[in-house]
Structure 1
Amino acid sequence: MLHFRTSLPIAAMLVAAIGCGSQQDGFTYQPVSGKVTMDGQPLAGAIVAFVPQSNTLKSGRPSTGVTDDSGTFTLMSMGGHHGAVVGEHVVSISTKVVDNDTQDLISEETVPIKYNDRSELTFTVPASGTDTANFDLDSKPTRR
């Protein structure tokens, strides 16, 4: 059994070996955070999802985060990696929450469909990661 004192140096070596970019599943993940506003005001409690451009896991796992009261979010991949896969992503932002067991609606959608189910948002995650993945949403419907 490892004691705390002996496991601390081992943990430090593992962190140093892994470095900032994580690549355990064949993809490079980098830290991603940012801020979401709607009509210039912070959007709290929104789920932000980054999905690699391809619809298959061959392009990497999706990453999600939830905005806090200031609209700030930090992403984590579905595989538990901090950040998102480097490259192009379709971004979805939603406030709708459904109970997984009952399928009951817990929270209504307040974000226009052009930012979630039919998202027009994209973002390129750079090789160095970013803390400026910012999205300023407009609550008014798109005129056609």
Structure 2
Amino acid sequence: MAIVLNNSHGALLIALLALALGGCSQEPWGYVSGIVTVDGQPVGPGTLVFEPSDPERGNGPSSLGYFDTSGEFSLVSAGGKKGAPVGNYRVKIMAGGPGSLAEESAAIEAQKKPSPIPSKYFHHDAGLTATVKDGEQEINFDLES
């Protein structure tokens, strides 16, 4: 048995199906920016890692933010999509940006100068957390030295 639709019904059915399928794949998304400071002063360069901590999300993809000496960052998720899925996250912060982590570490070691970002903030037990909400938002981190 075949179902025959005229052109207008077929086009409407296809449009409704596309809309329904498109809506199913959309998850709430947050566009996060902010500033990282240590003792109230902007620091950088550095990297933030937002790791999902909601049990229902499991080990979903992490989001990253890179910042320069101004401390300003914006999160980017897997595939280069700006932002992060809505939810709760553990946050890790470390010195060094994309492609410069090894160079920065070598420069700090060579100068025997400590990083302005304490290494304790790149561990799970540092206690840094964040909640990403739907839409645009600012999340700032003021670290203690």
TM (norm. structure 2) is: 0.64
- Superposed CA deviations along residues 59-95 of structure 1, whole A, max 9, x for unmatched, are 5311111112321100101232110111100011100
CA contact (8 A) 1:29 1:81 kept: no
Q: Unpaired segments of 5 or more residues in structure 2?
A: 1-18, 109-114
Q: Which of the pair has more CA radius of gyration?
A: 2
Matched position secondary structure for 1:129:
strand
Q: Which structure exhibits the higher relative contact order, with contacts defined as CA atoms closer than 8 Å and separated by 6 or more residues?
A: 2
Match in the other structure for 1:77:
77
Instruction: Give the residue type in structure 2 aligned to 1:121.
Output: L
1:120 to 127, 131, 143: 127
Structure with the higher helix share, 1 or 2 = 2
Q: Percent identity?
A: 36
Instruction: Give the residue type in structure 1 aligned to 2:91.
Output: V
1:98 to 95, 99, 102: 102
Question: What is the deviation of 1:136?
Answer: 0.3
Q: Unpaired segments of 5 or more residues in structure 1?
A: 1-16, 18-22, 100-104, 140-144
Structure 1: 4+ residue segments shifted above 6 A: none
Match in the other structure for 2:60:
60
Number of equivalences: 112
Instruction: Give the residue type in structure 2 aligned to 1:98.
Output: A
Alpha-carbon RMSD across the aligned residues, in angstroms, is 3.0
